[in-house]
Amino acid sequence: MGNMISGQQRKNIEIGAEVEIVEKHNQRSGELTSGFVERILTKSATHPHGIKVLLETGEVGRVKNVLED
């Protein structure tokens, strides 16, 4: 695993990027789900809890980390 970038800024997230998200039902445990971004759902440039995305596998959650190789 390479560098990790914050998921709080929309400009850091691209379609097809590999990310780690927290789904709504995992917010308390903080369990991360990794996958590839299909759609960016948050319209604003930043969000304190992470930009909300839809993964290719269908999960929706807020980006905690953007994974880079």
The answer to whether 22 and 62 have CB atoms below 8 angstroms apart is yes
Q: pLDDT band for 2, please (50, 70, 90 cuts).
A: low
What does the DSSP assignment read for 1-61?
---EEESSBGGG--TT-EEEEEEGGGTTTT--EEEEEEEE---SSB-TT--EEEETTS-EE
Amino acid at 56: E
Structure-token match 């905690």, residue found = 64
The pLDDT score that the predictor gives to residue 4 is 78
Q: pTM of the entire structure? A: 0.91
Structural domains in the chain, sorted by start: 4-67 (2.30.30)
Mean pLDDT of 52-61: 98
Q: What is the pLDDT of residues 4-29, one digit of tens each?
A: 788 999 999 999 999 999 999 999 99
